[in-house]
Amino acid sequence: MNRIIKTESEIKKMRMSGKLAAEVLEMIEKYIQPKINTEDINTICHDYIVNKKKAIPACLGYHGFPKSICISINDVVCHGIPNKKQIFQEGDIVNIDIAIIKNQYYGDTSKMFFIGTPSVLSKRLCQVAQDSLYLSLKSIKPGMPLYKIGEIIENYVKKNNFSVVKEYCGHGIGRNFHEEPHILHYANKENNITLKKGMIFTVEPMINAGNPQVTCMKDGWTIKTKDHSLSAQYEHTILVTEYGCDILTWQKNETISPKLINKH
């Protein structure tokens, strides 16, 4: 059985795994430019994870996924497969999702990058996706019902006239990539456990500019919006602490604090 509450020694390892995943996103930033293909981005991340960090890329071979990271461009919602023929173009919005294993423990994080100058809509979509994640993280503390996370995200996204993808959730994480509990990004009171100190899970809302429906491509992995509208996602792995939460995958350039104290 997977323990939903982590021990001190597990938390220590999860802090290291989270930091490492975040460092991959920091490292790759300068390579995200027009004309580079996504296979090359995959290779740079793979080599950095394996050679520099002595860690394992968690996506590689996961249920048969063929590459080390996911790269999802424009109307791709998630699980895009890096490939030589896919070349970043001016104006693209790109999600890079990094998951690694270090000392048998997983870290999982993703963020959006802009290729050149994004459109007003692209920028706003990414901002709303990130803000919905941040807003939900700022509310987390022991005693809070789990469904509140999804409620906060859904309300904020709807208020901004975008939509939340329902097919994919955040997840508990530890010695397994995906563990209990499921973290829905929309309100559902059946999904109702109470948050406790020592829980570690991801929050990773996928937000569409148009309708929430998605479809899977013939490759069996790539998920796109059904209406071809743009999609954006941000993901963090977090630890519930005594008074709030710690963002285990926090990156240096983020505007949110890595240690959140929730006084409400």
Residues touching ligand MF3, count (CB under 6 A): 11
Nearer to ligand MF3, 92 or 235 (CB): 235
> At closest approach, how far in Å is the CB of 170 from ligand MF3?
8
Which position among 10, 92, 97, 131 is part of the footprint of Co ion (CB under 5 A)? Answer: 97
Chosen residue from 11, 99, 207, 209 binding ligand MF3 by CB under 6 A: 99
Q: Which residue has the tokens 């890096």?
A: 82
Of 116 and 220, the one with the shorter C-beta distance to ligand MF3 is: 220
Q: Applying CB under 6 A, does 248 fall inside the site for ligand MF3?
A: no
**Smaller CB distance to ligand MF3: residue 65 or 114?**
65
Q: Of these, 17, 74, 130, 202, which contacts Co ion (CB under 5 A)?
A: 202
227 is in an annotated binding site: no
Q: Is 204 annotated as a binding residue?
A: yes
- Contact window for Co ion (CB under 5 A) among 11-19, 29-37, 89-97, 112-120: 89-97
Residue among 16, 40, 43, 65 that touches ligand MF3 (CB under 6 A): 65
Q: Which residues are annotated as a binding site?
A: 79, 97, 108, 171, 178, 204, 235
